A and B are shown apart, each in its own frame.
Chain A
Amino acid sequence: MALDLDAYLSLHANALSIRARRAEVLANNLANADTPGFKARDIDFAAALKAATSAPASPPAAPNTNGTPPADPLAPFIKYRLPSQPSLDGNTVEVDSERAAFMDNAVRYQASLTFLNSRIKSLMQALTGE
């Protein structure tokens, strides 16, 4: 029975990288909490994870020769938030809900990390056979 190492680890690895990107987006919202006209954004995690897991495994994108960074694969899943109470200066960051979302994201990141760790541990246990 062959073990597909990629499939064994990929779900949580994908989840982890999307969580990391989401943390960046939420941190950006919080940094711009007082910037007039800034529109808060978030990642549609479920859709992003679905796309990442259903996509055929592709080799990591080679860095472009012209020096531009590779396109962000998660960019299509970054959406603007609908504010529940828009402010006069056009800013749509609601600090309390952003903080709650950031905390929630951090805990789920740790959960993914723990799952990944336990998978690696059981793999190591199987390898050493003790």
Chain B
Amino acid sequence: MTLEGRVWKFGDNIDTDVIIPAPYLVTTDMVELGKHCMEGVDALFAEKVSPGDIIVAGTNFGCGSSREHAPMALKGAGISCVIAEGFARIFFRNAFNMGLAIFESPGIVQGIQEGDQVSVDQDTGEIIDHTNGKRFLANPIPPFMQELIEVGGLMSHVMSKRRT
């Protein structure tokens, strides 16, 4: 499957407090969380973003708390995937468990500008910037995590194992 959208760029160490500030953690509704997505760095982000848009960020994306509300808010805002130089570990884990597509691609921040039209082939990990013609490759996803995505996240995985 290919994901395609316009790029919003952020720096290093984007933490979960700016992805979804704590005062909004009084709900588990994805759409509602999405309305406050990235509010800590850009108060108008949720208004500007369109469904399918892609976030490109630096190292340690998603550092900080374990709140699953962070990947939920990104999904709720319509973000199709996050491509970063690197992810913090709990965010990485949560994204897979929740089914938010994320790709690690060292060097990506240099090669892609905000506003570029970018597509990602989920199967091959190929990233194409259609605005400047550059191509990148995402790090391969570990097989177990690939399996998680294929069955639709951790809960489906657990339930399918229980049935066998």
A, B: real partners:
no
